[in-house]
């Protein structure tokens, strides 16, 4: 499979701050890839370097084989970036904005594709509205449209759903999933970890400018997260000692962390054999938030 994004030995320092520290990444063509990390982890610097907006101190970046620094024009045509900040020109309508953006890439007579983008992002009704009159959520949709107007094969979404409503999220993800099915490579950064868990096949986690985890989403969940079993017993019942020794108590509930789903049956059998009555039970699956918290709290690096 061809490589959509190649990052080798990327380093960038701002004064005393080491924003990116020797990052190596490879994203395959057609992947839906997640780039996660806390504020200050280096995600925005990495994306800015990918877009050619920041010159790294060392290392190289390629987009579909085009070097971002030495072949800037070619690389930039292959890339669409949705920035985190709401940046817009208040003097043009939505349609005019997209036509101007098309012109930056030398594309004429692009109205059919612009109409399709507007329709897919539910912007058709706002096509002739000045961008300064739009709500924050609508401005976010315009940023997405601008990033896609030249049909880039590689799309980077930097916090695309930050502070927007549920309707926009659903509309956006339907469109982005469609583009991914059609072969577009998607790179997503988000603080909504459930989005990354739902859509990303592979995830890289950054901490202090370094990659601390890089694996498929399913493998990360398996390696660093656990099933949780919550039990509420009938009043007066006591959890068997061997189970209580590995459980924590939260209010009137006992909570157990289990490595494998098969352990649930053994726990329940032990509880029943002790004569306890289970009044309520809840089984929680592993989630990416638990993985994230564990990795960001580690001193050592798992890679």
Give the pLDDT score at 300. 44
pLDDT attached to residue 272: 86
- Per-domain residue ranges for the chain? 3-221, 227-285
The three-state secondary structure class of 28 is: strand
pLDDT at site 229: 84
pTM of the predicted model as reported, rounded to 2 decimal places: 0.81
* Structure-token pair, residue 163: 């502070």
**Residue of 226, 205, 229 lying closest to 216 (CA atoms):** 205
pLDDT of 96: 93
Q: Are 22 and 10 in contact (CB under 8 A)?
A: yes
Q: Taking the mean position of all CA atoms in its chain, how far away is CA 37?
A: 9
Q: From CA 289, how far away is CA 67, in angstroms rounded?
A: 35
Q: For the structural domain made of 3-221, what CATH number should be given? A: 3.40.50.300
Q: What per-residue confidence (pLDDT) applies to 248? A: 80
Task: Write out the DSSP string of 80-108.
Answer: EEE-SS----TTSBHHHHHHHHHHHTT--
Tokens of 293: 């918290």
In tens digits, what is the pLDDT along the chain, a chain of 303 residues? Answer: 689 999 999 999 999 999 999 999 999 999 999 999 998 899 999 999 999 999 999 999 999 999 999 999 999 999 999 887 777 778 899 999 999 999 989 998 899 999 999 998 889 999 999 988 888 888 888 999 999 999 999 999 998 887 777 877 888 899 999 999 999 999 999 888 889 999 999 999 999 999 999 999 988 887 777 777 888 888 888 888 888 888 887 777 888 877 777 788 888 888 888 888 888 888 777 778 878 887 887 544 444
CB 23 within 8 A of CB 53: no
Buried b / exposed e along 116-139 (16+ C-beta atoms within 10 A): ebbebbbbeebbeebbeebeeebb
Q: Are 87 and 162 in contact (CB under 8 A)?
A: no
DSSP E strands: which ranges in the chain?
Answer: 3-14, 17-28, 32-36, 58-63, 66-67, 79-82, 154-158, 185-189, 202-207, 210-216, 227-233, 247-250, 253-258, 278-284
Of 263, 239, 259, residue with least CA distance to 249 = 239
- If we measure between CA atoms, which residue out of 67, 54, 69, 56 comes closest to residue 10? 56
């Amino acid at each position: 499979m061809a490589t959509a994004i190649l990052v080798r030995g990327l380093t960038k320092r701002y004064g005393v701050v080491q924003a990116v520290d020797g990052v190596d990444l490879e994203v395959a063509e057609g992947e839906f890839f997640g780039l996660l990390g806390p504020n200050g982890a280096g995600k925005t610097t990495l994306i800015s370097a990918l877009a050619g907006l920041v010159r790294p101190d060392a290392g190289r970046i390629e987009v579909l084989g085009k070097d971002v620094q030495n072949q800037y024009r070619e690389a930039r045509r292959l890339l669409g970036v949705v920035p985190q900040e709401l940046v817009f020109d208040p003097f043009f309508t939505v349609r005019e904005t997209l036509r101007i953006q098309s012109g930056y890439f030398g594309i004429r007579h692009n109205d059919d594709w612009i109409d399709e983008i507007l329709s897919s992002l539910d912007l058709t009704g706002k096509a002739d509205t000045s961008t300064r009159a739009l709500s924050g959520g609508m401005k976010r949709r315009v940023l997405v449209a601008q990033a896609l107007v030249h049909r880039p094969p590689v799309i980077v979404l930097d916090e695309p759903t930050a502070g927007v409503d549920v309707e926009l999220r659903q509309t956006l993800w339907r469109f982005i999933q469609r583009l991914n099915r059609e072969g577009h490579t998607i790179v997503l950064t988000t603080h909504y970890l459930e989005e990354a868990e739902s859509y990303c096949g592979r995830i890289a986690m950054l901490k202090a400018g370094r990659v601390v985890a890089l694996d498929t989403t399913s493998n990360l969940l398996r390696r660093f997260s656990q099933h949780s079993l919550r039990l509420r017993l009938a009043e007066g019942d006591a959890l068997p000692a061997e189970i209580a020794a590995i459980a924590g108590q939260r209010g009137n509930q006992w909570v157990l962390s289990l490595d494998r789903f098969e352990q649930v049956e053994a726990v329940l059998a032990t509880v029943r054999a002790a004569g306890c009555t289970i009044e309520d039970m809840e089984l929680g699956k592993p989630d990416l938030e638990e993985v994230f918290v564990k990795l960001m709290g580690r001193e050592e690096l798992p890679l």
